[in-house]
Amino acid sequence: MAKLIIANWKLNPATEKEAELLASGSDIEGLVLCPPFVFLEKASAELKKAQLGAQDLFWEGVGPYTGEISGGQLKEFGVKYVIIGHSERRQNLGETDEMVAKKIKAAVEKGLIPILCVGETKEEHDAGRAQEVVERELTIGLSQLTKSSIDQLTIVCAYEPIWAIGTGNPDTPENAVAMAKFIKKTLVTSGHSLSPTVIYGGSVTSKNANDFFKHSEIEGALVGGASLKANEIKVIVDISRRY
């Protein structure tokens, strides 16, 4: 199966013009572009081959929730995927596992494909607690789904060790493979027949992409910094096609 490459632009770029240029340069088959909300419409207009994703959503549909965006609103823009529980939101905005669970449920109900981000801090990693943290984030994150919705669910799980994000210091491919296996095993043993697409994120570039993609367990990548250069993300997608 083709690898899934997701470009997470985060709070970039600064202007609409730059967003248009980046989107048109990144219109590649097999790529999901996640621009900031305000650029979704312009980015969407540039895309013929790439698909559109969002970086977050709120769990309610409409109502008095200042500053929030709902899954239904995202669908109006042609959004197919939505990143949920990114560590930058967990750390900077206090997003909890329980909030993540509500967002996952809302995304599934709206027919959006959730990209559930999980991963441990440096301290948790050094203390040998990575699996414990990932297991908790997965279990609570999916806890609001009913058994019937889970069994037919298309979901992406992004293993993103926090210490590897934006640091230029990626995890080892061996560790990422072990965690990908752990994620699949955790979801099987938790009693549902859920088989997520497991991808890796954290300082993926064109230089190291092959080291991850050559492992069948790594089914794609969530790419931050390197997705802000159209040429770079193109090379990453090209590398993924070797497998």
Contacts with ligand PGA, residue ranges (CB under 6 A)? 8, 160, 165-166, 201-204, 222-226
Under a CB-based contact definition with an 8 Å cutoff, are residues 158 and 201 in contact?
A: yes
Q: Are the C-beta atoms of 222 and 31 separated by less than 8 Å?
A: no
List all residues 6 or more positions away from 65 whose beta carbon is below 8 Å from its beta carbon.
58
For ligand PGA, the closer CB: 169 or 195? 169
Q: How far apart (Å, rounded) are the C-alpha atoms in residues 82 and 161? A: 19
Would you tell me the crossing angle of helices 16-25 and 230-240 to the nearest 10 degrees? 30
Beta carbon nearer to ligand PGA, 145 or 164: 164
Q: Under DSSP, is residue 75 helix (H, G, I), strand (E, B) or coil?
A: helix
Q: How far is the CB of 168 from ligand PGA (least distance, A)?
A: 8
| C-alpha 194, offset from chain centre | 17
Identify which of residues 138 and 222 has a Cβ nearer to ligand PGA in the complex.
222
Minimum CB separation from ligand PGA for residue 226, in Å? 6
Active site residue 160: yes
Strands 51-54 and 79-84: parallel
Which residue's CB atom is positioned nearest to ligand PGA?
Answer: 224
- The catalytic position among 86, 88, 124, 125 is 86
Looking at the Cβ atoms of 95 and 160, the one nearer to ligand PGA is 160
Residue of 95, 160, 219, 232 with catalytic role:
160
Q: Reply yes or no on whether 125 is catalytic.
A: no
CB of 63 to ligand PGA, least distance (A): 29
CB of 66 to ligand PGA, least distance (A): 26
Instruction: Find all residues with CB under 8 Å of 38, minimum gap 6, and list them.
Output: 16
| Residues with catalytic roles | 86, 160
